[in-house]
Structure 1
């Protein structure tokens, strides 16, 4: 998936907005031009990773879906 869809955006898994986001992706990006899968963050936060073929489409997604919440998390490694 990394070669075909190299751009990844992680968004909060909000059931209320899932259908709206999916419809937007199908309408503006097309079914074969993105991929998504569930993801669990290091902090146990539920999320979805959405993968795109290029950066332009990913930026279009963030601009066209103001209802999504982007997530980022830094892994600090084991503490010792």
Structure 2
């Protein structure tokens, strides 16, 4: 595989993984009682942000480069 092709595959993967990571985080937040009416309750915001940060760190390790900024910019 050429380097350019690999970059395209990684870019597509990043586009897909961001929404998946958010969906996982939101489902987890809902299970933990952090969501009220589809929104993060103010008292849970810090805990939710921490959860999103941890997920971002994990995906960054998998990809070998940061994904956090992109993912965090599209929070609930």
Task: Name the TM tier (shorter chain).
Answer: 0.3 to 0.5
Over alpha carbons, which structure has the higher Rg?
A: 2
Report the TM-score, using the length of structure 1 for normalisation.
0.35
Q: Which has the higher strand share?
A: 1
Q: Which has the higher helix share?
A: 2
Report the TM-score, using the length of structure 2 for normalisation.
0.36
